[in-house]
A and B are shown apart, each in its own frame.
Chain A
Amino acid sequence: MADKSFEVFPKNPKKTYGLMELVKGTGPIVNKEPEDTIFTWPNLFYLEFIVALIIIAGILFLSLYVGAPLEEEASRDTTPNPMKAPWYFLGLQEMLVFFDPWIAGVGLPTLILIGLMLIPFLDINKKGKGYYTFSERKFAISSFSFGMGLWMVMIVIGVWFRGLDWNWYWPWENAHLHKPVASGLRDLPVMFSRILGISDFAGKGLADFLVLIYFGLGLLIPAYIFKDFFKKLGVLRYATTMVMFWIMVGIPVKVGLRLVFSIKYVVMTPWFKI
Chain B
Amino acid sequence: MTYKQLTDWVTSTQIYKAIFRHGYEDTPRNRALTTFSNVLYHLHPVKTRRESIKIRYTWCMGGTSMLLFLMLAITGVLLMFYYVPDARRAYNDIKDIMNVVSFGSTFRNVHRLAAHLMVFTVWVHMTRVFLTGSYKSPREFNWIIGVVLLMLTLLLSWTGYLLPWDQLALWAITVGTKMAAAAPFLGVEGPFGAQLGIRPDNDLKFMLLGGTEVGQNALLRFYVLHCVVLPLMVVMFLAIHFWRVRKDGFSGPL
Instruction: Tell me, yes or no, whether A and B come into direct contact in the complex with CB atoms closer than 8 A.
Output: yes
Q: Are A71 and B166 in contact (CB under 8 A)?
A: yes
Give Cα distance in the complex from A196 to B212, angstroms: 46
Is the beta-carbon distance between A2 and B63 smaller than 8 angstroms? no
Shortest C-beta distance, A43 to chain B (Å), equals 7
Given contact pairs A43-B48, A43-B53, A131-B133, A59 touches B253 in the complex (Cβ within 8 A): no
Contact partner of B64 (CB less than 8 A), chosen from A55, A72, A121, is A55
Identify the closest chain A residue to B151 (Cβ): A113
Known contacts A44-B48, A76-B170: A83-B175 contact under CB 8 Å: yes
Residues of B within 8 A of A33 (CB): 254
How many chain B residues sit at the interface, stated as a range, is 35 or more
Please report the C-alpha to C-alpha distance between residue A38 and residue B35 in the assembled complex, in whole angstroms: 13
Looking at chain B's contact residues, is the secondary structure mostly helix, strand, loop, or mixed?
Answer: helix
Given A70-B95, A88-B157, CB of A106 within 8 Å of CB of B179: yes
- B105 near A102 (CB under 8 angstroms)? no
Nearest CB of A to B172, in Å: 5
**Cross-chain contact B166 with A72 (CB below 8 angstroms):** yes
Taking CB atoms and an 8 Å cut-off, the chain B residues in 99-132 that contact chain A are 105-106, 108-114, 116-117, 119-120, 123, 126-127, 130-132
A100 adjacent to B182 (CB under 8 Å) = yes
Interface string of B228-254 (1 = CB under 8 A from A): 000000000000000000001101111
Interface size class for chain A? Answer: 35 or more
Residues 92-124 of A at the B interface (beta carbon under 8 Å): 93, 100-102, 104-107, 113, 116-117, 119-121, 123
Once the chains are docked, how many angstroms separate the CA of A202 from the CA of B91?
A: 56
Is B140 on the interface with A (CB-CB < 8 A)?
yes
B83 interfacial contact with A, CB 8 Å: no
Contact with A along B125-146 (1 / 0, CB 8 A): 0110011111111111001100
A28 within 8 A of B: yes
Are A40 and B46 within 8 A (Cβ)? yes
Contact partner, A68, options B29, B109, B133, B147, Cβ 8 Å: B109
Residues of B whose CB lies within 8 Å of any CB of A are 23, 25, 27-29, 31-35, 41, 44-53, 55, 60, 63-64, 67-68, 71, 91, 94-95, 98, 105-106, 108-114, 116-117, 119-120, 123, 126-127, 130-140, 143-144, 147, 150-151, 154, 157-158, 161, 164-172, 175-176, 178-180, 182-184, 187, 189-192, 195, 213-214, 248-249, 251-254
Chain A residues engaging chain B, CB cutoff 8 angstroms: 1-3, 7, 14, 16-17, 27-29, 32-33, 35-45, 47-48, 51-52, 55-56, 59-60, 62-64, 66-76, 78-80, 83, 85-89, 93, 100-102, 104-107, 113, 116-117, 119-121, 123, 125-133, 137, 140-141, 144, 148, 271-272
With A83-B171, A130-B136, A131-B253 given, can you name 4 additional A-B contacts, CB distance below 8 Å? A69-B168, A119-B130, A120-B135, A130-B254
